[in-house]
Amino acid sequence: MAYAATDAAGPRHPGVAAVLSLLIPGVGQIYNGDFLRGIFWLIVTPGFWIGTAGLFGWPFHLIAAYTAYHRAKLKNRGLA
């Protein structure tokens, strides 16, 4: 599978990014090189876990994993 990543770090693996962000929200974004996005998810997701007594924690976990996956695919195509 050929990757067209534009930075020197090489291709990002979308599955790895998604799993990392599913385990700890934001880590997949940091893996992708999106440091500020990662910090955002590291702050927002636990805030929703705590602020809503766990009610909205899971959706934000899943959204963080999806966005990490999607951004990795975009970065590999050279679109992000």
pLDDT of the chain, 80 residues: tens digit per residue:
444 444 557 788 999 999 999 999 999 999 999 999 999 999 999 898 899 887 888 899 899 999 999 999 999 998 87
Q: Looking at residue 15, what is its pLDDT? A: 95
Q: Looking at residue 39, what is its pLDDT? A: 96
68 vs 18: CA distance, rounded Å: 5
6 vs 19: CA distance, rounded Å: 23
22 part of a folded domain: yes
**Whole-prediction pTM:** 0.81
Domain extent at residue 31: 14-77
7 part of a folded domain: no
60 vs 49: CA distance, rounded Å: 9
Q: Looking at residue 5, what is its pLDDT? A: 46
Give the DSSP H/E element, type plus range, for residue 40: helix 35-51
Structural domain tally of the chain? Answer: 1
Q: Looking at residue 56, what is its pLDDT? A: 84
56 vs 49: CA distance, rounded Å: 6
